[in-house]
């Protein structure tokens, strides 16, 4: 009795094992044409356009008129310039900051502040501590040579810089005092002949 059952189950196992074999090779065959059809289409089209618009941007920003310039900043937390070159012949230099982004100044506000390089960290830190109600500028901060107000989406602000405040032998920078922006928003102010 036991032997008989064991035999039957052994046969059943063998049968089921055998019955799978013919099915296996059939399954892999018909998928090939579908795979080759879908592989080609979506790769080629997009990535050339942004490079072209960046080049146009760079050309526009290098054409500074004497004694004034425009600096743009957007939701990407960057100025469109890494340096501002001020001719020593300018008694006064006008900088206009434009916010090109869509975010409000409470979330992505920008200003443009000028100070000596060694004062930048302190001005930004004290500005952050002064808070949004003070546009992130410490009142009466004598390290600040000039600053715009804080602006948000589609706004602009202009500041006139008294160039007699620059002295030879110092390095100057422009930067944003909105908390967290200093690392991304910082450039050099150069006095040129
Ligand atoms: Cu900013």
For position 108, which CATH number holds? 2.60.40.420
Domain for residue 24, yes or no? no
Is residue 104 predicted with pLDDT exceeding 60? yes
Residue 163 falls inside a structural domain? yes
Residue 70 lies inside a defined structural domain of this protein: yes
pLDDT in tens, 39-98: 444 444 444 444 444 444 444 444 455 899 999 999 999 999 999 999 999 999 999 999
d(CA 113, CA 178): 11
- Residue 45 in any domain: the answer is no
pTM of the model: 0.67
Q: Is residue 33 part of a domain?
A: no
Q: Cα(19) to centroid of ligand 1, in Å?
A: 71
In a domain, 29, yes or no: no
- Per the structure, the complete domain to which residue 155 belongs is given by 63-192
The 10s digit of each residue's pLDDT in 20-45 is: 444 444 444 444 444 444 444 444 44
In a domain, 9, yes or no: no
Total number of domains constituting the chain: 1
Residue 147: Cβ-neighbour burial (10 angstroms; 0-12, 13-18, 19+): buried
Cα 66 to averaged position of ligand 1 atoms, centre (Å):
26
pLDDT in tens, 5-20: 333 343 333 334 434 4
Encoded tokens for 186: 């910082």
Q: Look at residues 64, 79, 57 and name the one whose alpha carbon lies nearest to residue 176.
A: 79
Q: Measured between alpha carbons, how far is 142 from 155 in angstroms, rounded to an integer?
A: 26
- In the reported structure, the alpha carbon of residue 180 is separated from the centroid of ligand 1 by a whole-number distance in angstroms of 8
| Alpha-carbon distance values, 170 to 106, 118, 193 (Å) | 33, 9, 16
Q: How far is the CA of 13 from the centre of ligand 1 (A)?
A: 73
Round to the nearest angstrom and report the end-to-end CA distance of the chain.
Answer: 111
How far does the centroid of ligand 1 lie from the alpha carbon of residue 22, in Å? Answer: 69
Residue 133 lies in a domain: yes
């Amino acid at each position: 009795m036991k032997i008989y059952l064991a035999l039957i189950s052994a046969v059943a196992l063998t049968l089921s094992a055998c019955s799978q074999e013919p099915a296996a090779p059939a399954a892999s065959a018909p998928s090939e044409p579908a795979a080759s059809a879908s592989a080609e289409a979506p790769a080629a089209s997009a990535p050339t356009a942004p490079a072209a618009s960046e080049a146009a941007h760079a050309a526009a920003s290098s054409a500074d008129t004497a004694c004034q310039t425009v600096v743009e900043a957007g939701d990407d937390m960057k100025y469109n310039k890494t340096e501002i070159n001020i001719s020593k012949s300018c008694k006064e230099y006008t900088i206009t900051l434009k916010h090109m982004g869509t975010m409000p100044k409470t979330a992505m506000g920008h200003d443009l502040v000028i100070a000596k390089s060694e004062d930048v960290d302190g001005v930004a830190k004290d500005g952050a501590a002064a808070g949004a109600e003070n546009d992130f500028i410490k009142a009466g901060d004598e390290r600040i040579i000039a600053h715009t107000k804080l602006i948000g989406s589609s706004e602009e602000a202009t500041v006139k810089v008294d160039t007699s405040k620059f002295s030879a032998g110092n390095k100057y920078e422009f930067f944003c005092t909105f908390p967290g922006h200093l690392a991304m928003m910082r450039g050099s102010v150069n006095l040129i002949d």
